[in-house]
Amino acid sequence: AQKVTQAQTEISVVEKEDVTLDCVYETRDTTYYLFWYKQPPSGELVFLIRRNSFDEQNEISGRYSWNFQKSTSSFNFTITASQVVDSAVYFCALNYGGSQGNLIFGKGTKLSVKP
């Protein structure tokens, strides 16, 4: 079965703290892609990153970084020096070969960054 688990329902941090959002996935496919989306309070879904199953290099983009580990089926997202504007719901999603391009979403992690 294909599945994405985001065990952290809500996280609250104080501004400038680092925070890691966990994502664990399940799939039998050898070719798949993982995504992170951000949903700010305004409600839209914003694409953040995609990673394919053959590339385990970590990625850094400004204050954001992603750690993909196939051995543990995890694709974790870290925000360094968090800011109030990072407050949002973050979704991890899986796209696999049999899915016709459909995304399987985790239930999301609500991040609150307090000043």
Partner 1 sequence: NAGVTQTPKFRVLKTGQSMTLLCAQDMNHEYMYWYRQDPGMGLRLIHYSVGEGTTAKGEVPDGYNVSRLKKQNFLLGLESAAPSQTSVYFCASSYISSRLNQPQHFGDGTRLSIL
Q: Report the interface residues with partner 1, using CB under 8 A.
A: 9, 31-33, 35, 37, 43-45, 47, 50, 52, 91, 95-97, 100-103, 105-108
**109 strand-pairing partners:** 90
Residue closer to partner 1 (CB basis): 32 or 77: 32
Residue number with CB closer to partner 1 (20 or 102)? 102
CB of 106 to partner 1, least distance (A): 6
* Cβ 101 vs Cβ 107: under 8 Å: no
| Residue 27 beta carbon to partner 1: minimum distance, rounded to whole angstroms | 12
Least separation in angstroms between residue 115's CB and partner 1 is 26
Nearer to partner 1, 20 or 47 (CB): 47
Q: Are the beta carbons of 57 and 67 closer than 8 angstroms?
A: no
Q: Please check whether residue 66 is in contact with residue 51, taking contact to mean a CB–CB distance below 8 angstroms.
A: yes
Please report, for residues 10, 26, 115, the alpha-carbon distance to residue 91 in angstroms, rounded to integers and kept in the order given: 12, 15, 23
